[in-house]
Amino acid sequence: MSQSSPRVLVVVQHDGTHCSPSTLSTFSAAQQLATLCAKCPIDALLVGYQCQPVCEELQQLGIINQVNLVDDEWYVHPLSERIAPVVAEVSQRYSHVLSSATTFGKDLMPRVAALLDVGQLSDITAIESADTIIRPIYAGNAYARVQSSDPIKVMTVRESAFDNIQPTEGSTTVTRLQRVNSPISTEFVGQIMTESARPDLTSAKVVVSGGRGLGSKENFTLVETLADKLGGAIGASRAAVDAGFVPNDLQVGQTGKVVAPDLYIAVGISGAIQHIAGMKESKVIVAINNDPDAPIFEVADYGLVGDLFTIVPELIENL
């Protein structure tokens, strides 16, 4: 299994050209972990096809000791069924294996843990020692301290809990590995990419979210206009998604995306605990709601009680 001495591996999420922001946050978590493990080395595992630009980006970070590169047409589409066997094989040389708690990591890492016959430490928000982490439970209303005795610790990291790693001076070697063939019954058919001029929801510095209080898909344009004025991304509560106001990839909350922007504006959102779990780590929270007893005001730094159809247009005009 793993080496007797600690060694950290980060599984890289990328688009073939750049690392995802969530991976940069995962490297930050890895750096904290390495410090707790007597400054043990940090390596990266990059799996893909024609992804040399990503490899060069990783080399520029400076904190990575070695990039394990698996570049093969077999991995042109990031299917977890294909990637998991190579991650599991490489992971046997490491004490800790980290990936982001995004859709990519949530799909991939449980498979890796199963192949290694170990448990998984999911959605971690803090690292206390080489074998002890903190993670949210009960929709973020409580935090659990979890200790693992597994020889290989498989972890997924919550992006909003760690800052992006900053490049430093350092040398990085690149080791090319062969693909790992494994029989799978999954076939890639296609994907539909959402094109948007707005920043990505999970990495935006400003997020404006709308809820059921907007009343209709047409009224949701108020949220979009306010977000555009602020150069931010748009989000939504589950109620707004279920009502068909916006697609479900914009949902913020326990069953959606977790965000922690510098500014979060909640428009017509009452503040169910599932929604609050996905945005309460935001630096500044502004709530607009006509119900003064709405739960959202309990976590808001600034609350505007009134008719959103009056307040939001005034905000847009003044901005």
pLDDT at 2: 45
Is the C-alpha dihedral spanning 77, 79, 81, 86 positive or negative? positive
> Which of 245, 201, 240 minimizes the C-alpha distance to 221?
245
- The helix (run of H) or strand (run of E) holding residue 47 is strand 42-48
Residues in the chain: 319
- pLDDT for residue 237: 95
Predicted confidence at residue 194, as pLDDT, reads 67
User: Which parts are annotated binding residues?
Assistant: 212, 237-238, 251-255, 268-275, 289
Distance set, CA 287 to CA 179, 233, 306, 311 (Å): 50, 16, 10, 11
d(CA 297, CA 269): 10
Give me 222's structure tokens: 């108020």
For residue 175, what is the enclosing H or E element? strand 173-176
Q: What is the DSSP letter of 292?
A: T
CA neighbor of 179 nearest in space, from 280, 79, 285: 79
Question: What sign does the CA torsion over 14, 57, 11, 16 have?
Answer: positive
Residue 198 lies in a domain: no
- Read off φ and ψ for residue 55, nearest 5 degrees: -60, -45
Which pLDDT does position 201 carry in this prediction?
A: 87
Within a 13 Å sphere around the CA of 280, how many CA atoms are in the beta-carbon half? 19
Is the pLDDT score of 195 beyond 80?
no
- Domain membership of residue 181 (yes or no) is no
63, amino acid identity = I
In a domain, 64, yes or no: yes
Task: Give the CATH number of the domain where residue 262 resides.
Answer: 3.40.50.1220
**Could you say which of 159, 176, 193 is where a domain stops?**
176
* Known binding positions for FAD: 212, 237-238, 251-255, 268-275, 289
Dihedral pair phi/psi, residue 218, rounded to 5°: -65, -40
CA–CA separation, 265 and 208 (whole Å)? 5
In a domain, 185, yes or no: no
Band of residue 303 on the pLDDT scale cut at 50, 70, 90: very high
pLDDT of 246 above 60: yes
Question: How many distinct structural domains can be found in the chain?
Answer: 2
Residues 212 and 260 reside in one and the same domain: yes
Report the alpha-carbon distance of residue 198 to residue 210 in Å, rounded.
Answer: 16
Q: From 271, 270, 269, 276, select the one nearest 255 (Cα to Cα).
A: 276
Task: Give 73-127 pLDDT, tens digit per residue.
Answer: 989 888 999 999 999 999 999 999 999 998 899 999 999 999 999 999 999 999 9
Of 160, 169, 140, the C-alpha closest to 29 is 160
Q: Are 75 and 47 in contact (CB under 8 A)?
A: yes
Q: Are 91 and 226 found together in one domain?
A: no
Residues 40-63: tens digit of each pLDDT: 999 999 999 999 999 999 999 989
Q: 293: which residues sit within 8 A by CB, 6+ positions away?
A: none
The span from the CA of 190 to the CA of 61, in Å, is 33
Q: How far apart are CA 84 and CA 182, in angstroms?
A: 10
Q: pLDDT-based confidence at 208, cuts 50/70/90?
A: very high
User: Which pLDDT band holds residue 169 (cuts at 50, 70, 90)?
Assistant: confident
Query: Do 258 and 161 sit in the same domain of this protein?
Result: no
Neighbours of 292 (CB within 10 A): 9
Tell me phi and psi for residue 114, to 5 degrees: -65, -40
Q: Angle formed by the axes of helices 103-116 and 80-91, to 10°?
A: 50
What domain range is 137 assigned to? 8-176
Whether 302 is in a domain gets the answer yes
Full-model pTM: 0.82
Q: Which residue matches tokens 């109620």?
A: 239
* Consecutive H or E run containing 147: strand 142-147
In a domain, 109, yes or no: yes
> Mean pLDDT across the chain, nearest whole number?
91
Per-residue pLDDT at 1 exceeds 50:
no
CATH of the domain at 67: 3.40.50.620
Q: Are residues 215 and 136 in the same domain?
A: no
Which residue reads 């400054």 in tokens?
39
